[in-house]
Every structure is written in structure tokens, then in C-alpha cells.
Amino acid sequence: MNNNPVKNIVIAGGGTAGWMTAASLSKLLGNAINVTLVESDHIATVGVGEATIPTLHLLHDLLGINEAEFMAATNATFKLGISFENWRDVDKDYIHSFGYLGRDCWACGFQHFWLKGLQKGWVSEIGDYCSEHLACRQGRFAVMPNQDRNHAYHLDAGLYAKFLQSLAYQHGCQRVEGKINKVNLCPEGGHITSLDLDNSKRIEGDLFIDCTGFKGLLIEEALHTGYDDWSHMLPCDSAIAVQTKTVGEPVAYTRSIARESGWQWRIPLQNRTGNGLVFCSKYMTDEEAIQTLLDNIEGEPINEPRVIKYKTGTRRKHWNKNCIAIGLSAGFIEPLESTGIHLFQRGIVRLLQMFPHTGINDSDIQEFNKQTEEEMLNIRDFIVLHYHLTERRDSDFWRYCATMEIPDSLTHRMALFKASGRIFKKAEELFGETSWVQVMLGQGLIPEQYHPIVDKMSDDELRAFLEKIKSHVAKKVASWPKHTDFINHYCPANDKDTREQQKMQA
């Protein structure tokens, strides 16, 4: 398509997506390219996504980021999972934890052994067979030598962007201040040639990365790429965000509390708590949502509630001509399982793997878009599962979710699990068997049978097998310190006020 070498990279927009991209390209591609980030001080970023998943370790390893330094700089706490409260039904809660459940065998997952134990009355809740799950409930955490890194973070997204910005500067990234007034296209091929800023500057480039958020200034407004709307199966289209002073010690999990027409998040940082309400505007007004959120927060608000509007879905092409969408410009599924920053990262890593050093060609574009679409669809199905597989019928919103049309791919997964207890993960799929099992069981879908290989064990052998796993998990978690104690020792926040607050809590 274009045999000209790609040397000059222009990133439109800052925030987490922009500076994550800038830091990655600057450090990992080095002198082979020039990276320029265009950002306006007068355009606010969304900046409410403060929870991550364990895949962030991959990018941090590539960038050589020290975990304790990063956490201290971003007021971060550890995250071992998500507590889903009132999702199956009012007052019915469960945890989707990171890590792995029990022990699998070559033929089936651990849930099959647990299911027979359940029928026999030998087992407790399935989370007792997972270290991360039990640690969530007991408020314990540790980073141990040779330990699987099945943890993520709660972090301040604004401070994280600044942390990445510093890293990008160290490796030669240039920042240009200004608001983009015009995107200039080549008359012949229609690709982007330059950006005109409100200060009369013109920024030329070979490859443009759109990190302009929901607006999609390059990928959509200039290139008219198109958008697949998923709001018929992910009906929430609005969010209210507010920060509060810390009350009590931070838990090692995100709280997701289902409300009448959506759900509330509660994310503990070292210095404050992030709160929000995701809701559907068809069933709740902005004013009702703000009041609902303020009625259900803990601690004094430290800023005014902010309303954010969005449309769930995905861009029809994430790479179009010489423009790649990274971040919210690429699409938005919603923050229920904290996949936002993960998708930023996956787009960046995919670009690094397929970087068009010698020129942009259609085969690279097609493969990039194919992989991205598959990943988005798999994550979409997992999120839709939470809404659709529910026993709630107490409001119009939940009645709609329970009866709405869902993708055939999700219908198949649910039917397969109900009939046989089986989950099959695709090779590049984000959420594995443990995640699907925890959410389906948590939402009330109990398989009708277990794999017959379980019956190869005698009853005594199976009972001993289950008890040994549970005992090992309990002993392991009991050896970990309290979550707050570990943070105060390992990665106390850099700012003085937070350190003083931690001393008072101790």
C-alpha cells in the first residue's frame, strides 16, 4: 500500500493510552523512529479507569518498570479480583478472583472434581480452592519469590500517565502542546499527512496513532471508519465518577455493586477511593444517578461528580490506512472487568509486533484488525454474560438484561457449561477457564453433570484430594501479611499526605 519507510510517529492525544503508547514505542523501538505526542492542556482526559488486570505485568516487564516504584508513584494498591454484589440477585454475592482453581487434569478442569464433591456434600465454596480468592476475603497479600504474578493494581490513572510520560521523555519522545484543528489527508490515497494545531503548528508524520478518546478525531472524524454499536446487549451508556476520602483500610479487590439500573464501582487507592455508577440512561436520569451514587458512597467527596457519556461497541477497523486507534478511540466495552487498560496494552504490543518499518501494507492491516476484532468479541461476550445470566427481575433494566438477545457464541458457551461443566478457551482469548467458571457459578449456572473421569477416583481419594488442596490454600494465605501492612512496607505512596494518613491508620 505504501512502501515508504515509517520513521515519524505522531500520537494524537495524551492520557493513559497516549503516554502508554509513547513510552512503549520510544523505549522499545528506540532510534529507529521519532515519536511526537500532540496534547492540549485544555482537553481533559476521561481518567476514571483505576483498576487493571494481571496482564499489565507483560508491558511493565518490557518497559523495565519496577513494581514498587510504579505503585508508590501512582498511590496504587494491589488487586486480586472483583467482588460482584447483587449481580445474581439482591443480596447474593460472589468473587471473580485472579489465579487458578484447584488442580486440573488432562481431561477436565478442577470444577468437575468440585462438582462431584458438591453433590456429595464434601466441599465449601469454590473460592476456598484458590489462593487469590481466599486472600481477597481475608485481606492478605504478598509478593513472594517464584510466585505466579496473579495480581493487578488499583491506581491513579492521572499519576500513571505522568509516570509513563517521564519514561517516554527519557527515551526521546517529544511533546507538542496544542489542540488539533484539522486533520490533513492526501488527495490521492486518503491517508493522513499532517495535523494542524490551533497555535499554527503543523505536525507531519508517516504513522498516526489516534488516542483522542471517544471522539476518534482521526480514525472516525477524518477517516470515517465506522463503528459497530453493541448497546443492545451492553445497554449502559453513562457513568458518574467521584472521588472520596479514604475510610478504613483498602481491600485487595474491586467492588462491583449492582444497582437498580446499572452498577457501582468502588476502587481503593492508598490516598483516596474511586467511586462511580455505570447506568443506562433509558432507565435512569443523570440526576437520579448522581443521587444514587452519593447515597451509596463511604467517605467525604473530594470533587464534584462528573458525568461521562459513551456508546459500547468497537471501531470497524482499528487500523485504517496509516492510522491506528489505541484506547477509547478504538472502542469501549465498559469497565466491568477492568479490561480498558488491557486493551490499550494489547493494541500497543500488537503494533510493536507488526510495526511497518519498511512501509504500510494491506496484509499487516488485515491481520491487525482480525486479531483485534476477535479479542474484542471474546471480551464482549464475557461482559454480556454478567448482565444476561441473572435471576434479578426487580426492575425494568434487569428484566431487559435477562431477556435480551445475546450472541450465538455466548449462548453456546452457556449451554455447554450447563450440560457438561466444560469451558474451552481459544488460544488468544483473555479470560480463561477459571474466570468463566467463577462467573457462571456465581451468577447461578450449575452444570448438570461432571466429567466421568472424576469417577476414576474412589470417594476416599476424591475427598482427600479436595481437602489437601483446600488445606494448602489456607496455609499459604495464612502466611501472607495483611494487605495494608504489605503496602506500607513495600510501596508506600510518594506524597507526604498519604504517608501520614497510612501512619494514622496503622
Which residues are known to be catalytic? Answer: 79
Give residue 281's Cα distance to chain centre: 23
Closest CA to 150 of 170, 131, 168, 166: 131
User: C-alpha cell of 450?
Assistant: 461432571
Q: What is the dihedral of CA 140, 141, 147, 152, to 10 degrees?
A: 120
User: C-alpha cell of 57?
Assistant: 505485568
* Size of the chain in residues: 506
Closest CA to 210 of 316, 330, 311, 310: 330
Tell me how far apart the alpha carbons of residues 479 and 312 are, in angstroms, rounded to a whole number: 43
Q: How many CB atoms lie within 10 A of CB 92?
A: 17
Closest CA to 276 of 310, 249, 248: 310
Q: What is the dihedral of CA 489, 494, 495, 498, to 10 degrees?
A: -20
Q: Which residue has the cell 468497537?
A: 314
Q: 340-353 and 362-388 are packed helices; what angle lies between their axes, rounded to 10 degrees? A: 160
User: Using CB atoms within 10 A of its CB, is residue 151 exposed (0-12), middle (13-18) or buried (19+)?
Assistant: buried
Alpha-carbon separation of residue 118 from 81, 113, 457 (angstroms): 24, 9, 15
Closest CA to 435 of 49, 108, 82, 78: 82
Q: What is the DSSP letter of 453?
A: G
